[in-house]
Structure 1
Amino acid sequence: MSTLSTILDLSVYPIDDPDFRAECRHTLERTGALVLPGFMKSEAVEQVKQEGLEKQHLAYYTAKQHNVYLAESDPAFGEEHARNRKVTSSKGCITDDIIAEESPLRTLYNAQRFREFMSDVLDEEQLYEYADPLSSINLHYASEGQELGWHFDNSSFATTLLIQKPAGGGVFEYVENMRDADRGEMNYEGVERVLNGEVEVKQLSMEPGALVLFRGRNAIHRVSPTEGDITRMLVVLAYNNQANVALSETARLTFYGRLTA
């Protein structure tokens, strides 16, 4: 069974240290993104990668067209308007119930020290696992040509770990402060320029083992299509700031093809 010290290099990333936590929180507040290279030790990354390769045949694959707001089309606007214009997301996914009990991912996800570190950095009082059996830990696969289209997140933060980098493509791109969701300012003009390729985008550079915290509610972002025959593998560690929250049945059917384990 893995322990936190066998999964993380705690000498490089002292997650219990208040000063280190404050530094991470400041970076996330200032830039909307925090990348911690080599957060997961290479041995643990390799263990997760091997499990991912062995279980890839169990993945549920989806190819979905959606607008960047992840909402139903608004009939007040044309189909090619930035509000309704469609992009494509395609990927495979294995869900929490398929991840082995002895996986480093489960040890990390459930570790109270890690959860307290995350809570502090994200400025959340407490973090909770999902109430449904599928959504807490997901391993995503993007083979050649698969991508994550431009979008805004509905949640206030996302936490990911890169497990396997593709030969080419699979680049995380974003433009920060593209909208103000809380004020209802959707910035259709700016979004249209992004969709037309008229805006210089930022990229997050990451290698296997990198932990990434990203605030995507107001930052439009995507992952470019994978190139080559090496599948991009990325783990999503999903938490809530309230207890007993489940992903909706509609979302579970859409992304996982089922409701329960």
Structure 2
Amino acid sequence: MLLSEVLNTSKYNLENNALVESCKATLEQEGAIVLPDFLTEQAIRAIVDQGKEKQSLAWYTSNTHNVYLTDIDPDYALDHVKNKQINSSKGCITDDQIAQNSPLRVIYDAALFRTFLTQVLGIKALHEYADPLSSINLHYASAGQELGWHFDNSSFAITLLIQKPEQGGSFEYLNNMRNADLGEMNFEGVGEVLAGNKEIKTLTIEPGSLVLFRGRNAIHRVTPTIGDTTRMLVVLAYNSEPDIALSESARMTFFGRLA
């Protein structure tokens, strides 16, 4: 496929400075931006078909974690927000399982797309991961599977929603809920989120949407999938430095293998 067959060029000119500046402003203010209809219908159909074909290869995980994705801290009670355990479960296929003719490779490798991302995210360059698993991942969330409340360790995430479930699978978040750089964890505010006592934001995301999200200081979750239609989400992972592989421990946790 050509990039023009994957990217909806009739709606998005990635070289348009006004688009870049608008995206930057929204991301800065809201911590997230959704670009609907970013992929063409042709590309979405191809990714869904390939995703269904490869779903049996997915590595499924179900685990518990705290919102900070850190180990249990013995200085706090087990029911303290620092240690409170939350459920997450999903399936995933890795870059080496993504078809070579997938539209995802076309957009991931496109210099035009990477330049657009660097401009919006305010970074110098984006590079693929050096290991064979991490660059493009397709995540599956079947009935009952969810991503529990957490903060990201990375400064940004780039995702594409490919298939929406019948119900559930909503992306919920609240921006500026901690300051990781200063070590301010905001236990009180996070506790209110976990107790359901804070008003949260929900992103409206339809299949084919590109989502840019800053999750390092924004607490977020994906609600459980309801119904027989599996939620499919693609994560496009880049590194700001070349020749970097995801750590072996992270690969074992996320993918169940090193290569």
TM range (shorter): over 0.9
1:18: Cα distance to partner? 1.7
1:19: Cα distance to partner? 1.9
* Structure 1 residues 216-243: Cα deviation after superposition (integer angstroms, max 9, x where no partner): 0000000000000100000000111111
* Structure 1 residues 8-35: Cα deviation after superposition (integer angstroms, max 9, x where no partner): 1213110011221111111111111010
Counterpart residue number, 1:191: 190
* Structure 1 residues 103-134: Cα deviation after superposition (integer angstroms, max 9, x where no partner): 00001000111000000000001011111110
Normalised TM-score (structure 1): 0.98
Counterpart residue number, 1:166: 165
1:46: Cα distance to partner? 0.6
- Quick check: 1:17 aligned with 2:16? yes
Q: Distance in 2 between matches of 1:118 and 1:101?
A: 23
Ranges of 4+ aligned residues in structure 1 off by more than 2 Å? none
Counterpart residue number, 2:225: 226
SS in 2 for 1:55: helix
Q: Distance in 2 between matches of 1:34 and 1:240?
A: 20
Q: Which amino acid aligns with 1:219?
A: A
Counterpart residue number, 1:70: 69
Q: Distance in 1 between matches of 2:3 and 2:115?
A: 13
* Structure 1 residues 83-120: Cα deviation after superposition (integer angstroms, max 9, x where no partner): 01000110000000000111000010001110000000
- Quick check: 1:235 aligned with 2:237? no
Normalised TM-score (structure 2): 0.99
1:251: Cα distance to partner? 1.0
Equivalent runs, 1:1-261 vs 2, <5 Å: 2-260=1-259
- Bigger CA drift: 221-230 or 16-25? 16-25
* Structure 1 residues 35-86: Cα deviation after superposition (integer angstroms, max 9, x where no partner): 0000001110010000000110000000010000011111110111000100
Q: Which amino acid aligns with 1:232?
A: R
1:248: Cα distance to partner? 1.1
Q: Distance in 2 between matches of 1:245 and 1:86?
A: 31
Q: Distance in 1 between matches of 2:29 and 2:157?
A: 16
1:252: Cα distance to partner? 0.7
- Bigger CA drift: 225-234 or 4-13? 4-13
SS in 2 for 1:138: strand
Q: Which amino acid aligns with 2:52?
A: L
Q: Which amino acid aligns with 2:134?
A: S
- Bigger CA drift: 8-17 or 86-95? 8-17
Count of residues in Structure 1 that have an aligned counterpart in Structure 2: 259
Q: Which amino acid aligns with 1:74?
A: D
Q: Distance in 1 between matches of 2:21 and 2:240?
A: 19
CA RMSD across the alignment:
0.7
SS in 2 for 1:233: strand
Q: Distance in 2 between matches of 1:23 and 1:197?
A: 32
Q: Distance in 2 between matches of 1:209 and 1:125?
A: 26
Structure 1 residue runs without a partner (length 5+): none
Q: Which amino acid aligns with 1:13?
A: Y
Q: Which amino acid aligns with 1:152?
A: F
Q: Distance in 2 between matches of 1:137 and 1:21?
A: 24
User: Percent of aligned positions with the same letter in both sequences?
Assistant: 60
Q: Which amino acid aligns with 1:111?
A: A
Q: Which amino acid aligns with 1:184?
A: G
